[in-house]
Amino acid sequence: MKNMIAEITYNNYNYTIDLSKPLDISIPLRGNASNVNAWYVDPPRIEPHTEVEFIGSVKEGGSTNFNNIHFNPHAHGTHTECLGHITEVFQSVNQTLDQFFFMAEVITLVPEKFGKDFVLTKKQLQRALGEKEPEALVIRTLPNTREKLSRKYSHTNPPYLQEDGVMFIVEKNITHLLVDLPSVDKEKDNGALKAHKAFWRIEGSVRTKATITEFVYVDHAIKDGSYFLNLQVAPFENDASPSRPVLFRIV
């Protein structure tokens, strides 16, 4: 592909990005047990629709491939969620996310031991971000093996973000948080959801436009630093939707 160099002005600054070299940090959804999985649900299914004499599979004699897909966005791959994830009143991520390009910072953190858990701390975030205040923050955790593309997270107590660390992110005016974990919160916390509530500032001036994206995968070839982020969700009217965050290097 030929280079597609774009000169853009964003927040009164000029940037050059190469649109021909997107860095996709989403995990594709596969309709079998090899798919990444969390939250104690069965694997996703992608299977031909059948009724009477029709089967939606050319291989099995049908005229077209016509598949039904059964999945849970929170459990089965890269997804973006809005405030509606934790509110009684329905709110849709498809309505919440109405801008799609953001300045993003990619950082890499090694979860630290905290009792029986591994956590991402406020001090780590302070060191990694310094004075930077991006609109979006992408957190890659180590170790960063390709096993993340198919790992079964249920009952494994994955790393999570401590509440004061999330409050620091909010203080930085970061609106979109992307992590390579199944959740920003502890797997089994009796519904406390401290990180989610802190990020959306549920007890104060609620951040209605903020989003959390979980289950990204940031390849080692993507270096820490500043990028343009294109964050798109499938247009589901739901609290969360499958999403495809794509980074572009600033050249």
Is residue 241 in some structural domain? Answer: yes
Summarize pLDDT for 35-63 with one digit per residue, the tens.
999 999 999 999 999 999 999 999 999 99
The answer on pLDDT for 1 being more than 80 is: no
Question: Residue 245 contacts by C-beta under 8 Å, 6 or more apart in sequence?
Answer: 24, 25, 26, 78, 80, 138, 178, 213, 216, 229, 230, 231, 232
The answer on pLDDT for 246 being more than 60 is: yes
Range of the domain at 140: 5-29+78-249
3-state secondary structure of 84: helix
Is residue 52 in some structural domain? Answer: no
Q: Give the mean model confidence (pLDDT) for residues 241-246.
A: 98
- Specify the CATH number for the domain of residue 244: 3.50.30.50
Is residue 48 in some structural domain? Answer: no
For 157-188, the DSSP string reads ---EE-HHHHHHHHHTT--EEEESSS-SS-SS
Output the pLDDT for position 228: 96
The answer on pLDDT for 171 being more than 80 is: yes
* Token pair for 32: 């079998």
Output the pLDDT for position 48: 98
Q: 39 and 26 in contact (C-beta within 8 Å)?
A: no
Output the pLDDT for position 35: 98
Q: How many domains does the chain have?
A: 1
Cα 177–chain centre separation: 8
Is residue 181 in some structural domain? Answer: yes
Axis-axis angle for helices 163-171, 122-129 (nearest 10): 30
Is residue 164 in some structural domain? Answer: yes
* Token pair for 109: 């953190």
Is residue 70 in some structural domain? Answer: no
Output the pLDDT for position 148: 98
Cα 27–chain centre separation: 9
* Token pair for 235: 């247009």
Is residue 41 in some structural domain? Answer: no
Is residue 71 in some structural domain? Answer: no
214-215-217 Cα angle (round to 5): 125
- How many Cα neighbours within 13 Å face the side chain of 197? 11
What is the Cα–Cα distance from 43 to 225, expressed in whole angstroms?
A: 34
Q: Give the mean model confidence (pLDDT) for residues 83-102.
A: 96
Dihedral sign, CA of 26, 232, 38, 47? Answer: negative
Output the pLDDT for position 10: 82
Output the pLDDT for position 2: 66
Summarize pLDDT for 3-38 with one digit per residue, the tens.
788 888 888 888 899 899 999 999 999 999 999 999
The per-residue pLDDT of the chain, averaged, comes to 96
pLDDT band with cut points at 50, 70 and 90 for residue 221: very high
